[in-house]
Structures are given as structure tokens and as C-alpha cells.
Amino acid sequence: MTMGRAMKKHDAQQRLRIYFTGVGGQGTLTATTLLAHAAMLAGIDVVAGEVHGMAQRGGVVESVLLLGGWRSPRLDFGEADILLGFEPLETLRGLPYLRPGGAVFSSCDPLPPLSVSLGQTAYPDMAFIEEQTGLIAGQSRFLPCRQMGIAAGSAQSGNTALLGAACASGVLPFTADTLKEAVKKFLNAKLQESNLKALAAGATFVR
């Protein structure tokens, strides 16, 4: 965890730009949709879009969620208030999108992307990733999402643990309880138990 320039807590009337990044097969876009549903349940205007996506496992997947009255899902470098990273190397690569003093919530579990598997890129260690994140972010938390997901009953539910941590931290304009409601309303019934457990674990992690 890195703490520096504190990011102010948001309320429902403030505009907020969230950047998501991960690799194919992790469920990055599902997590984006789930957070969008939670915002809508809280009565917040939502615009979502996919920046870049590759269907094959290992390809980079990026998406954005803009809350509070934006007209288009456009996000440029230095504009994201929050970065949600589901894979640490992709978190590092996504840092140019984060505004100075923004918040980062990231998995610390490596899932080497295609470029690493092909030998095109070396994988940096976590100490370097956290150090570089701390140079830009006002606050950052790195969670063992895969471990938390497995403990909850499904490795992929670790994504919901990350969302739960972000909600519980106070940087989002709704609570973990609203995200819990979204899980119950919009996820398949078979997936709800593990995701609810992961959500609670993520919320507990930041308290």
C-alpha cells in the first residue's frame, strides 16, 4: 500500500472517471458492467465504453466508466480519477491515464500478458510496480485478488473483491452495500455467493 496526496472522497453529484485494465479471460468488462449497474442503482448517470479489448486469453483489455453526467466515454492520459487494475503489469502500463493524486486499486497477482509469454516484454517485480504507482497516485492498494477469489469460491470473483475495496475506501459515490445489491440483481444466481463473499473480503481489506 502507498499513501501520499490523499484523494478526496466523492459524493453522487461529482463527476468521476474510472479506468479499468486487465488481460483477456479475467472478466475486466464484466467488472466494468457490474460497477456501472451499481452506479445506476445509486441514481448516478453512467457512460461506459471499451477502450481496447482482445477476446483471446492474455490480450490487453481496457475500459472506462464515467460517472456524473458525461456525454461520451472518452478518456485521455492524465484524466482518470481512479484506476482499477486486474493485473499488476497492466496497472503499471495504465498509469499514464491516472491524474496526479488519483487512486489505484490493483491486484498483486501476476497473470503474464501475451507480450511477456512471447518474450517481448520482461515482467517487473511488484516492488517496482508499487513504487511507480506511488509516484503518481494519492493512494494505492494492492490486493491478493486471486487468493481472495479462491477463498470465496471462484478465482474470478477476485475482481469483485477489488471493486469492494474501492467502494469501502470511500472514493466511489456509493457504498459496498450498493455493489452488493448490484451483484444480487445482475449476476447469474450461481455466481452470486462467491462474488458476495469476495466483495465482503475486499471491503474488509481496506478497513
pLDDT tens-digit series, residues 102-112: 999 999 999 87
User: Read out DSSP for the chain?
Assistant: -EE-SPPPPP-TTS-EEEEEEEETTS-HHHHHHHHHHHHHHTT--EEEEEEE--SSTTSEEEEEEEESS-SS----TT-EEEEEESSHHHHHHHGGGEEEEEEEEEE------HHHHTTSSPPPPHHHHHHHHHHH-SEEEEE-HHHHHHHHT-GGGHHHHHHHHHHHHT-SSS-HHHHHHHHHHHS-HHHHHHHHHHHHHHHHHT-
Distances (CA, A) of 76 to 31, 39, 55: 21, 22, 23
CATH of domain 18-112+124-205: 3.40.920.10
C-alpha cell at 22: 486487465
pLDDT of residue 13: 53
pLDDT at position 59 is 73
Domain locations in the chain? 18-112+124-205
Enter the pTM of the model: 0.88
Question: Residue 41 carries which side chain, given as an amino acid letter?
Answer: L
pLDDT, residue 52, reads 56
Under-50 pLDDT residues of the chain? 1-8, 12, 54-55
C-alpha distances (whole Å) from 1 to each of 4, 37, 140, 157, 196 are 10, 28, 6, 21, 24
What pLDDT, on a 0 to 100 scale, did the predictor assign at position 4? 32
Rounded distance, CA 99 to CA 147, Å? 29
| pLDDT score for 63 | 92
